[in-house]
Structure 1
Amino acid sequence: MPTVTPAPLAAAPARQTAGPRSKAPTLRHERTFKAQGARYLAGVDEVGRGALAGPVSVGIAVVDLHTQKPLSGVRDSKLLSPAERERLEPLVRSWSVASAVGHASAHEIDALGIIAALRLAGTRAWLEILAAGVSPDVVLLDGSHNWLTPPGQLSLFDEPALEPGCAAPVHTKVKADMQCLSVAAASVIAKVERDQQMRGLHIEYPDFGWDVNKGYATVVHREALRAAGPTPYHRVSWNLLGGDL
């Protein structure tokens, strides 16, 4: 049975500007895991969770805790302009030991609910990392909830997890995307790839302004919804118009 998730009423968050006192993310927190015997750490972040349309996307950037050097200019993707993100994306890819972005579609979000869809997108990215020949020892996940690890006990109504899934221990950290370079790097590649997808979908449905709002709840987006109704790329189990539909 689909999980009905209310859509947020706010529009996509405006780009923030890093103030003069804001600190660039570092690998300081990641390196604390060396004491536990870890060498390869996977920084993980998601984008698109609060959008009305398009996929939810999960980025993974793997770093070598023994040899990795910082990468200048990387910030949480929300603090960067589109041009800055586009410039940094190939640099992040070449800097990382391995990197990947996984997606779960609007249809999958409707069918599974947002948390299971996040796990599905993250698992798809994880399988790409494994396919590249890299097996991270530990995962650092932005936020306070571990949505990446499959639940230990499935209910009668749960689908089996996509195997093999993330088998490494997952550690969460609030604002890791602001403080931890591996997670900030993951946010950049996830944001760039998802934005590219939304620009492609904009060509098919130009009235919704996805080239600008990327599927978030702007005035233009909701006015188009009122006029034309949802597309196949909308999360129709959500309350798309905040009670007005």
Structure 2
Amino acid sequence: MDEVGRGALAGPVTVGVVVVDETCRTAPQGVRDSKLLQPHAREAMVPRIERWALCHAVGHASAAEIDAVGIIAALRLAGMRALADCTVRPDLVILDGNHDWLTAPEDVGLLAFAHEQDVATPPVTTMVKADLRCSSVAAASVLAKVRRDAIMVDLGAPEGEHAVYDWAGNKGYAAPEHLEALRVHGPSVWHRRSWRLPGAMGDDALVTTTDLTPVGER
């Protein structure tokens, strides 16, 4: 599994899952280099990944849900939704990095999302740079990024009401044109309003990208 959009200012956080076993053939060529690919090349890789994997799915948690429960619980929620949509239950989940955001703390459930608790969490192992070392994690990253990018392009369509934020170009991240639009127009309904966003502050103080973290996660 891998996540996309954790550090964005707007839009969902998205988690992809790709399940493989000993019957799966060698991963599609280039999947481990997905971060170096142009968007059209990543999109072209999606059907190859879907044919290769035993099972695949993508889950999302919205900006409003991130505001309600915090980014870590929202990651867990998106991951559980991806697992729920997968027809094969994995015996083990590999997560990129060194933090297990999928397994809920023993004293905390899925907070406001009790209906998601029926999905059992498989054992989790973390692996630094797993998206470079593990083909299934890299493939999950591709699926998540392509799906989330499509959502942000659609939300930021030139003829739409949110075109000023240029989400088609920045995908909701803290690009200069996005920050400037926030300062001028303020946040939209798709922004993570619990974060310290320009245009949502009580003064006109300059906000740097180091300030753009969830209040509950600082």
Give the match for residue 221 of structure 1. 178
Give the match for residue 91 of structure 1. 48
Give the match for residue 244 of structure 1. 206
Give the match for residue 63 of structure 1. 20
How far is the alpha carbon of 1:80 from its aligned partner?
A: 1.6
**2-side partners of 1:70 and 1:103: how far apart?**
25
Does the residue aligned with 1:64 lie in a helix, a strand or coil? coil
Does the residue aligned with 2:116 lie in a helix, a strand or coil? coil
Give the match for residue 177 of structure 1. 131
- Using the size of structure 1 for normalisation, the TM-score is 0.76
Over aligned residues, Cα RMSD in angstroms? Answer: 1.9
Q: What are the residue-to-residue correspondences of 1:146-157 with 2, within 5 Å?
A: 146-154=100-108
Count of residue pairs the alignment pairs up = 198
Please identify runs of 4+ aligned residues in structure 1 that moved more than 6 A. none
Does the residue aligned with 1:75 lie in a helix, a strand or coil? helix
How far is the alpha carbon of 1:158 from its aligned partner?
A: 4.0
The Cα offsets for residues 184-206 of structure 1, whole Å up to 9 and x where unpaired, read as 00000000000000011002311
Counterpart AA for 2:27: P
Give the match for residue 188 of structure 2. 231
Match for residue 191 of structure 1 among 145, 156, 171: 145
Q: What are the residue-to-residue correspondences of 1:29-108 with 2, within 5 Å?
A: 44-108=1-65
Give the match for residue 119 of structure 2. 165
Q: Is the 8 A contact 2:24 2:52 kept in 1?
A: no
Counterpart AA for 2:51: S
How many percent of aligned residue pairs carry the same amino acid? 53
**2-side partners of 1:223 and 1:166: how far apart?**
43
The Cα offsets for residues 107-139 of structure 1, whole Å up to 9 and x where unpaired, read as 00001000000000000000001xx2x111111
1:109 aligns with 2:66: yes
How far is the alpha carbon of 1:66 from its aligned partner?
A: 4.4
Q: Is the 8 A contact 1:74 1:181 kept in 2?
A: yes
How far is the alpha carbon of 1:81 from its aligned partner?
A: 1.2
Q: Is the 8 A contact 1:64 1:97 kept in 2?
A: yes
**1-side partners of 2:5 and 2:61: how far apart?**
10
Instruction: Sort the Cα spacing of 1:91 and 1:197 in 2 relative to 1 into closer, same or farther, 3 A.
Output: same
**2-side partners of 1:65 and 1:110: how far apart?**
40
Unaligned runs of 5+ residues in structure 1 are 1-43
1:138 aligns with 2:95: no
**1-side partners of 2:23 and 2:48: how far apart?**
20
User: Which of the pair has the greater relative contact order for Cα pairs under 8 Å at 6+ separation?
Assistant: 1
Q: Is the 8 A contact 1:150 1:165 kept in 2?
A: no
The Cα offsets for residues 207-239 of structure 1, whole Å up to 9 and x where unpaired, read as 100001000000100111111110000001101
Counterpart AA for 2:206: D
Q: Is the 8 A contact 2:3 2:141 kept in 1?
A: yes
Does the residue aligned with 1:59 lie in a helix, a strand or coil? strand
